[in-house]
Structure 1
Amino acid sequence: MYRFLLTRQWVILTLVALVLIPTMIKLGIWQMHRYDERTARNQLVTDALGAKPVPVEELASPGHTVTSSERYRTVTAQGRFDTDDEVVVRRRTNSDDAVGYHVLTPFVLKDGKVLLVNRGWIPADGPSQTAFPKIPAPPRGEITVSGRLMPDETTAASGIKNLKGLPDRQIMLIDSEQQARRLDAQVLGGYIAQTAPDSKNDTPELIGRPGKEDAALNFAYAYQWWLFAAAVPVGWVVLLRRELRDRRRKDETGAVDEVPAAVG
């Protein structure tokens, strides 16, 4: 009765089912790993944003690489802005997806070291992209700034190519080592996205708080793959029973046809 399972059609169908089941289980496991990773990153962001502000020197130093647990930590620094060596970071968008620049201003600390401060976003409304844009001036003199500590930007992490031959005082990526060579100074690793002071008076648009990744989708996708994996053998059994039913019906019809008609 089950000899049809050895036909080419059923052999292929069974092999496909046997391949799909472990594949879908692995895809579900992969989605759960993604869920765990995103949940962990979200927790790091929550912990960093909720941590007590500390002086930047406690977390950063020249040549230091900002770690994932240090990222988004609120830090403070005392010193003065050096607008003579200010640069702009090209092709950056604001909360409305308008294209413009980020303003990167060296902040000279009391011991002479330099902290790179991303003061925020300005529109690219100049006569051309080669001309240095007009930038609102920061507060003068000795002040205290605070911001979220950020790691150096890389092409691998951001997808932004570090183009060469750019107009003077324009860059593509914020790289503390590159800026240390340009400024010929000791520059703290990473930079800060400024959060204060913000006078609200013709200043760059401050960069908003970081958003969190949607981990719930990965959780849902994992169970979706596992449901698919469970549905494969169920579907195989349904097809098998249908095939048996059709074959029995065909056999019964054939048997009826072979019975001779009664002679009256």
Structure 2
Amino acid sequence: MRSYRFLLSRRWLVFAVIVALLTGLAWWLGQWQFDRLEDRQSRNAVVRANETHDPAPVEDVLAPPGQGLDVDHEWRVVNATGRYDVEDTVIVRYRTRDGIAGVDVVVPLVTADGTAVVVDRGWLRTENAGTATVDDVPAPPSGTVTITGWARVDGTGASTEVEEQSTRAINSARIGEALDRTVYGGFVDLRSEDPEPTATLEPRPLPELNNGPHFFYGLQWWFFGVLAIIGFGYLAYDERKRGPRGERARAGRVVAGSAAQPGSPAPAPREKKRERKPRQTNVPSEYQRRR
């Protein structure tokens, strides 16, 4: 039986480096999934806590104009009273639900001091995700309206740009700039309106408060890392016990060819094929079937 000195060869050192890199990558990906699980659990805890609070005035929860809403206040129930400015309605495109095209309808609610609350009134089904206009959506209640809804953190990135009262993600600051209005930081997902509108929109569903697949994904990545180490160890043990696989293959070919060397026993003679005897028949030869 050989020693493990072959592990110091270039071939095995390169193999060991590759296995180490794969194992490190699997460990990092697994830890990333567990970090995502922890973030999700923290977010779920915030949502559960905020959902149990009584509705609070919007000015006590949303951020002052020009500032962003604290994530710890997201999904807190708020209420506000004011008048909808229908002319400043903003359409949020590409809001598909269960494979059905639709848009969200955002209308600023102007409060008594002139500061507007960006309100996502709900989802409207459309023929195409980007074809709805302000004229296509049902009007909100007129006059003084009291709303309740969930405080939400603004979206970020290029998708929040507002062009011709249309956007792809809600950002209160961007909407305020486009409409030339002073708005609170953050927006509100509508839950109810008083008085009720003639035509209602579908409200946004509440977030799912499960842990998602992150735990099992993390275990899978760590399992792949352990499997790589076990595979390396098995291959090393196999080579120590039986030698390199290439040498084994050459040895097998030599053994197979050694049977033809001088002095080796001759192969057994093949059995001769029996000669077919003429078939005895009384039928004349000219009427017999030719084979």
User: What TM-score, normalized to structure 2?
Assistant: 0.70
Aligned equivalents of 1:171, 1:84: Cα separation in 2: 16
Q: 1:241 to 1:125 in 2, by over 3 A?
A: closer
Which range moved further: 179-188 or 142-151?
A: 179-188
- Computing the radius of gyration from Cα coordinates, the structure with the larger value is 2
User: Match of 1:77?
Assistant: 80
User: Match of 1:208?
Assistant: 205
Question: Which ranges in structure 2 are unaligned for 5 or more consecutive residues?
Answer: 253-257, 259-291
Aligned equivalents of 1:86, 1:200: Cα separation in 2: 16
Deviations 1:148-168 (A, max 9, x none): 112222226xxx36364x4xx
Q: How does 1:220-235 map to 2 (within 5 A)?
A: 220-235=216-231
Would you say the 8 A contact 1:137–1:203 is kept in 2?
Answer: no
Would you say the 8 A contact 1:124–1:133 is kept in 2?
Answer: no
Alignment partner of 1:86 out of 78, 86, 89: 89
User: Match of 2:43?
Assistant: 41
Aligned equivalents of 2:101, 2:236: Cα separation in 1: 59
Q: 1:13 to 1:161 in 2, by over 3 A?
A: same
Alignment partner of 1:242 out of 238, 241, 244: 238
Question: Which ranges in structure 1 are unaligned for 5 or more consecutive residues?
Answer: 258-264
TM-superposed CA distance for 1:194, in Å, is 0.5
User: What TM-score, normalized to structure 1?
Assistant: 0.77
Alignment partner of 1:193 out of 172, 189, 214: 189
Would you say the 8 A contact 2:101–2:127 is kept in 1?
Answer: no
TM-superposed CA distance for 1:193, in Å, is 1.0
Aligned equivalents of 2:65, 2:160: Cα separation in 1: 24
What's the C-alpha RMSD, in Å, of the aligned pairs?
3.4
User: Match of 1:26?
Assistant: 28
Would you say the 8 A contact 2:26–2:221 is kept in 1?
Answer: yes
Would you say the 8 A contact 2:86–2:107 is kept in 1?
Answer: yes
Would you say the 8 A contact 1:28–1:222 is kept in 2?
Answer: yes
Q: 1:170 to 1:242 in 2, by over 3 A?
A: closer
Q: 1:90 to 1:230 in 2, by over 3 A?
A: closer
Q: Does 1:96 align with 2:95?
A: no
